[in-house]
Chain A
Amino acid sequence: MSQVAETILVRRIAAGPEGDRSARARFVLALLILLLLAVTAMSIATGASDASVIGVLEGWLGGGAESALSARDRLIINEIRLPRIALGMFVGAALAVSGALMQGLFRNPLADPGIIGVSAGAALGAISVIVLGHTLLAPAVGLLGIYALPLAAFVGGLATTLILYSVATRRGQTSIATMLLAGIALAALAGALSGILIYIADDRQLRDLTFWQLGSLGGATWTKIGAAAPVIAVALAVTPFLARGLNALALGEPSARHLGVAVQCIKALAILAVAAATGASVAFTGGIGFVGIVVPHLLRLVIGPDHRYLLPASALLGASLLLIADAVSRTIVAPAELPIGIVTAVFGAPFFLWVLLRRRGILDL
């Protein structure tokens, strides 16, 4: 059924030459923008409370006296829902684009920041602050306040990436195979160190840790977004300059160089962008899995692997999917809240398996 629909879609929309999926990709990009707008509107309108968007809009437009009820609604929407939506968008886009960048860089459709240890390093940083925040790291935490946790995660992610890069790079050449293997080793090491910290944690810290690891967009504030958004925005802003280089990298590094791509420069920029985007995301929202692997994968099936379209499409779909997952997480057990990491994994993992099974023929390279 879906294949028939897909064929019709191709015939209708791919008006360009045979084998050229760029017309189709542009159409999908337009659809994704509409999807994100729709999802955003839906997210503003729904939540645990019955705050009315219409009432708030009327309050804005009317400009006059505001009832006590619409003042409360306005507070809920402006200070709870909107920051949460903004954080969800940035994090969803960051996770999906990080996945797409890593997959292009490692020439492997299953690569993910989780695999090369960036997420594990970021998690180690965050766990250190949660467990040692009142003892060993108390001076630093006292100084940084609420920024201590995100900063530690960011530093952890970046440090892992830099160690990885220096291990895998010799005389200006980065070996992708060495980097993957070193990433697995570093992820294991960061996991073990996190394990030690969890082992010495007290009961209250354990509860904090567990919820942070499960991931959540809860507790988003404009202050937090002020810290996360610029980092993620810079990382996303770099990606258009990497697209053509990543396309050529699909042929392998020597062929990409023969085509005129400054391979080392592309690799360094992509790694830094991934470290920044992943670090900031893990710091503010904890462990939200599967977005980085499912989103680019799905899009590649529909629009092909051209990074000029894949990267912006990943950002849009990643943002939309995370908002949908968040809407599920805060309504399914309302007024309580299910950690969003559980939602993305429960829907993401089986969906990913289904996609793998359905398209196995083309995926076997």
Chain B
Amino acid sequence: MIEARDLNVSIGGKRILSHVNFAAEPGIVTAIVGPNGSGKSTLIKTISGDLPYGGSITLNGQELARMKPAEAAMVRAVLPQSTTLSFPCTVREVVSLGIMRGYSAARDNCLPERALEKVDLAGFAGRFYQELSGGEQQRVQLARVLCQVWTPCLGQPRYLLLDEPVSSLDIKHQLIVLRIAREFAAAGGGVVAVLHDLNLTVAFAHHVVIMHQGRSVAGGTPEEVMQDALLSEVFDCQLKVGALPDGPTPFLLPQTAMV
């Protein structure tokens, strides 16, 4: 389990996160949602170990600040929002960086190809990363991250930390990527994802944490947090949650929203 207690983070003297408590269980997909500037990305960056923090963060019971980079890399892999490369690399070379330390259980030579196939980029191994579109690059990075924690559970649960994994993808690949997250969780790993699309969040997350002004203001199942009053206040506009006639799945139509 990833657990953050009383998390305080300041950047350049400005408090970005205050007194945030957060937990991500293995076996489920935890989504972090909230308006722009609410601290979602800061939260996932802090959990990834990128920012100095007050409070405590534990990875499977170990304090993150006291873990060596190599120890943390055994337990979790991080997908950044976007990645630019300094040198022309082939797609295979980028994906192979994920297995550079041999942390993956599977050390077979085909792992990059299998990871690429998973993210619907079969046959892209020989292409240059710089020649791909933004969405394709994002999926190459996901393949790299998957290689790092190819086995979701290796003695202990491992985690995927995804910062807006679907923001530059078309709808088919949004579904593919979020299905990968579900499969990872189903196999015993944990997934934390910053998401913007509330409908995708409802469809794929087991647990939703809502961030607002640097605080975690709500947490629960998608059904529990998809409430008119809560969402309207957090996103600062009139939102009306709908429900499909054949089930409890809530949804949000932008057409019914009022600013």
Interface of A toward B, CB cutoff 8 Å: 17-21, 107-109, 171, 244, 247-248, 250-252, 254-255, 257-263, 300, 304-306, 362-363, 365
Residues of B within 8 A of A247 (CB): 97, 100
Question: Do the beta carbons of B69 and A304 come within 8 Å of each other?
Answer: no
Chain B 121-147 per-residue mask, 1 if CB under 8 angstroms from chain A, else 0: 000011110100000000000000000
Q: List 13 A-B contacts (CB under 8 A).
A: A17-B92, A17-B125, A19-B90, A19-B112, A21-B93, A109-B87, A250-B86, A255-B80, A260-B73, A260-B74, A305-B87, A363-B88, A365-B130
**14 extra interface residue pairs, beta carbon distance < 8 Å, beyond A260-B74, A260-B101, A362-B88:** A17-B125, A21-B90, A171-B52, A247-B100, A251-B83, A252-B83, A252-B84, A257-B69, A258-B49, A258-B72, A260-B72, A262-B68, A305-B88, A365-B88
Most chain B beta carbons < 10 A, residue from A21, A255, A261, A304: A255
Chain B 57-77 per-residue mask, 1 if CB under 8 angstroms from chain A, else 0: 000000000001111111011
From A21, A171, A251, A261, B85 is in contact (CB under 8 Å) with A251
Give the Cβ gap from B57 to chain A, nearest Cβ, in Å: 15
Measured CA separation A365–B84 after assembly (Å): 8
Residues of B within 8 A of A305 (CB): 87-89, 93
From B89, B90, B97, A259 is in contact (CB under 8 Å) with B97
Most chain B beta carbons < 10 A, residue from A17, A254, A258, A306: A258
Interface presence of B103 (CB below 8 A): yes
Q: Given A108-B86, A250-B87, A263-B69: A19 and B127 within 8 A (CB)?
A: yes
SS of B interface (majority): mixed
Residues of A within 8 A of B76 (CB): 258
Question: Do the beta carbons of B103 and A260 come within 8 Å of each other?
Answer: yes
Interface presence of B120 (CB below 8 A): no
Q: Closest residue of chain B to A265, judged by CB? A: B69
Measured CA separation A19–B50 after assembly (Å): 31
Interface presence of B183 (CB below 8 A): no
Residues of A within 8 A of B69 (CB): 257-258, 260-263
Measured CA separation A305–B86 after assembly (Å): 9
Question: Do the beta carbons of B93 and A306 come within 8 Å of each other?
Answer: yes
Give the Cβ gap from B200 to chain A, nearest Cβ, in Å: 24
Residues of A within 8 A of B78 (CB): 254-255, 258
Residues of A within 8 A of B50 (CB): 254, 257
Measured CA separation A252–B81 after assembly (Å): 12
Question: Do the beta carbons of B80 and A19 come within 8 Å of each other?
Answer: no
